[in-house]
Amino acid sequence: MVVSGNVHDIQKLYVAYLGRPADPVALAFWLGMLEQQRDSGLAAVKTALSTATEFTAAFAGLSTEQVVDQRYVNLFGHHAEPAGLTFWVGLLQNGSITLADLITTLTDAAQGSDLIAVNSKIAAAEAFTAELDTAAEISGYANPAAGAVALAKAFIATVTDGASLAVALAALPETVSQVTGAPLNHAATGDVTAGGTAVEGQVLTASHTLADADGLGTVGYQWMAAGVAIAGATSDTFTLTAAQVGKPITVTATYTDGLGTRESVTSNVIVSGNDTLKGSTGADQLAGGAGDDTYLVNVVGDVVTEGAGEGTDLVNVGYTTAGSYTLAANVENATVTSATTAVSLVGNALDNVLTGNAAANTLTGNAGNDRLDGGAGADKLTGGSGDDLYLVDAAGDVVTELTGEGTDTVRASQAAYTLTANVENLAYTGKAAFTGTGNVLDNIITGGHAGNKLDGGAGNDRLVGGDGADSLIGGLGDDTFVGATGKDTIDGGAGTDLLQGLGKFADYVVTRPTLTDTLLTDGAGNMITVRGVENFAFADGDKTLAQVQDNVPSPGNDSLHGSDGNDVLNGGLGVDTLSGGLGDDTYVLLNAADVVLENAG
C-alpha cells in the first residue's frame, strides 16, 4: 500500500488528538484542502480536531496530571516519566502552552522507542482507513457516536512497535468487519489429517479434530491432486489411481458454521515416496513423483515422467521382443530385466547407470558421467561425453569413445583387454592372470592379484601390478610403475620412468645379472627386475638409476671402489677397474685385463 505524505500527516494528527484513524470521508475532505494549500490545511485539521467534542470530552473531569499522562499512554503506550510530567503540567497550569501545543510537541519530538510507537500507530491507522472499503463500513465508522469509534481506538492502542503492528494488521480484516455491527466470524480450530501412502491402489483416509465457536456444521470432504479436485472423491476414504500418482495429495474439509459462513480447512500433503509403478499390457503413462521410484516398463509405448529433483529413479525394461528404450528427462537409471531379449538402452543428460542382460545389448550413455554394464553377451557400449565407467566381461564387448569426451575407465573381468581409442583407464576385476594393454593416451592400468602383463603403449602411463609375478611394460612416454611385491619384471622402455611402492633402500640387495637389468631383492623374497627405469622412489628417499647401481658389478666393464675397511671386490666378467682404498682388501680377478688400483701404505 502506497501512502502519500499528506495522508500520513493527516493520520498522524488523528492519532495524536483522537487516538484513532481518520474515517474515509473526512480523510478525503482534508486531502482536498491540503492539496490546495498544505500549511493552512494542516492548521485547519489541528483546529478542527482540538475543538471537536470527541477531543474535549476525553478530558472532562481529569486533572492536569491525568491529562498529560493520558497523552503519553495514547501516543507512546507508556506513562509519563516523573520529570516530564512535572515539566508539562507546570507549562499547562501557568498558561505557557495549550493542550493542543502539548500534543503537537510530544508527537513531533518523539525519539527512540517513542518514535517507533508513533510511526507504528500511524501505519496502523493508514491500514485501518484503507480497509474501510464497503458502504456499510464507511457509514458505520463516520458516526463518532457509534461503537466502531471505540473499536478503532482500541485497535490503535494495541500498537506500540513493529511486532504489535504485524499482529494488528493480521487481524485487521476481522476487526474492520465489526464496524458494520455484524457478528465476528470465528475461524475453525483443529486439524484435518490425510493418512496413507501415495502409491497406486492404496486407500487414503481423512479425519479431523475441527471445532468452531460459531458452531460446527456437517463436515464434508473433497480429495485434491496437486490442488485440483478429484472428481467423485468426496468421502472420508479414497483409493489412489495411476492418474494421481506422483502428485501431492490433500483433502479439504468443508462445513457451514452457525452464522451461515462456509468454512474450509485443508489437510497435510501426502507426497509420493519410493514408489514401484508397473505398466500394464497397454501403453501406460507412469509418474512416480518425489522419491526414488522404480518403473516396470514392458511395451514400447510406456511413458515415464519425472520432475527435476524428484529422487534417483530406475526403469526396469522387460520387453518380450527386441527394441530400444530411451530414458526420459530426470530419470537416472535403466536395466534390461528380460532374460535374453536384445534391448538397446539410451541415456540422457544425467549421470546414468545402464545395465544390459545376457543378450547382445547396445548401451548409449550420452551426456553425463555414466556407468555402462552390458552384462553377458557381446555388447556395444558408448558412453558419450562425461567421465564414463564401462563394465566389460566378454571378448565381444566393444567400447566406443570419441576425442574429448571425458576421462573414461574400463573395468574388465576377462583375461585380456586392450583399451580402445579415447579411453584412458583400465582396471582388472577378475581373479586369474591378466593381460592389459593401453593406447596412445596417458593410461592408468591396474592389474589383479595374480600375475599381470600390463603394457602401457604410447603416452605417459601409470601401471599398477598387484601382488603376483607381474610384467609391466611402459613403452613410449614417461611412465610410472607400482610393482614392488612378488617377482615382477619392469621395463620402462623409452622416456624418463619412475618406479614407486618400494621399501627402504637398505632393505634391498642390488645385483646386476645382465648389462641391462637391475635386480632388487628384499628379505621377504620379493624380487624386482628393472630395466629402462631411470628413477626410484624408496620409502626413505628417491634415487636415480646410477645411485642404485653404484658399486654393483655387472657382466660388463665395471669400476668398483671399496671402503676404508677390508673389502672384497669382484668385478665379474668384463674388464674391470677395482680400487679397494684403505684396509686389507681382496680382489677377485676373472679377466686378465682387470686393473687393480692401490695407493702406497
Residue 135 lies inside a defined structural domain of this protein: yes
Q: Where are the alpha helices (DSSP H) in 132-223?
A: 135-142, 147-157, 162-170, 172-177
Residue 323 and residue 333: Cα distance in Å, rounded? 17
CA distance 124 to 152: 10
- Distance of alpha carbon 522 from alpha carbon 509, whole angstroms: 6
At 468 the pLDDT is 84
- The predicted-structure confidence for 193-238, as pLDDT tens digits, reads as follows 998 877 778 899 999 999 998 899 899 999 999 889 999 999 999 9
Residues of the chain short of pLDDT 50, as ranges, are 1-2
Q: pLDDT tens-digit profile of 366-389?
A: 999 999 999 999 999 999 999 999
Is 369 exposed, middle or buried, given 0-12, 13-18 or 19+ CB atoms closer than 10 A?
middle
* Number of structural domains found in the chain: 5
On whether residue 187 sits in a domain, the answer given is no
- Last residue within a domain, chosen from 349, 375, 399: 399
Question: Do 489 and 442 have their domain in common?
Answer: yes
Residues 253 and 293 grouped into a single domain = no
Residues 430 and 529 reside in one and the same domain: yes
pLDDT tens readout for residues 415-451:
999 999 999 999 999 999 999 999 999 999 999 988 8
- Specify if 387 maps to a domain: yes
Same domain, 65 and 207: no
Question: Which of 148, 180, 212 is the endpoint of a domain?
Answer: 180
Phi and psi at residue 399, in whole multiples of 5°? -105, 130
Q: Which of 289, 199, 296, 292 is nearest to 246 (CA)?
A: 289
Are residue 439 and residue 514 in the same domain, yes or no? Answer: yes
Residues 211 and 113 in one domain: no
Would you say the C-alpha torsion 565, 568, 573, 577 has a positive or negative sign? positive
The H-or-E segment that residue 221 falls in is strand 220-225
Q: How far apart are the C-alpha atoms of 261 and 371, rounded to whole Å? A: 60
Burial code (b: 16+ CB inside 10 Å, e: under 16) for 134-153 equals: eeebbbbbbeeeeebbebbb
Phi then psi for 584, rounded to 5 degrees? -90, 95
The C-alpha cell at 431 is: 581373479
Give the end of a domain, one of 120, 145, 180.
Answer: 180
Query: Which whole-number Å values give the CA distances from 80 to 72, 75, 475, 489, 535, in the listed order?
Result: 6, 11, 96, 98, 90
- Cell 503506550 locates to 77
Identify the pLDDT of residue 233. Answer: 95
In angstroms, the CA 591 to CA 492 distance is: 32
Which grid coordinates belong to 440? 596412445
Please give the Cα distance from 117 to 76 (Å, whole number).
Answer: 5
Q: Any bridge partners for residue 414, and if so which?
A: none
d(CA 403, CA 419): 14
Classified as helix, coil or strand, 24 is helix
Cell 483433502 identifies what position?
251
Instruction: Show the domain range for 213.
Output: 192-266
d(CA 393, CA 374): 8
- Say yes or no: 96 and 152 in one domain: yes
pLDDT at res. 143:
66
Task: Provide the pairing of β-strand 518-522 with 508-511.
Answer: antiparallel
CATH number at 219 reads 2.60.40
Task: Specify whether the backbone of 365 is left (phi greater than 0), alpha (psi in -120 to 50) or beta.
Answer: alpha
Q: In this structure, are 196 and 119 located in the same domain?
A: no
185 located within any domain: no
Residues 145 and 166 in one domain: yes
CA 105, 106, 112, 114 torsion-angle sign: negative
Q: Are 454 and 584 contained in the same domain?
A: no
In whole angstroms, what is the distance from residue 26 CA to residue 142 CA?
8
Are both 545 and 587 inside the same structural domain? no
Residue type, 540: D
Residue 272 forms part of a structural domain: no
Within 13 A of 484's CA, how many CA atoms are on the CB side?
19
Supply the pLDDT for residue 222: 97
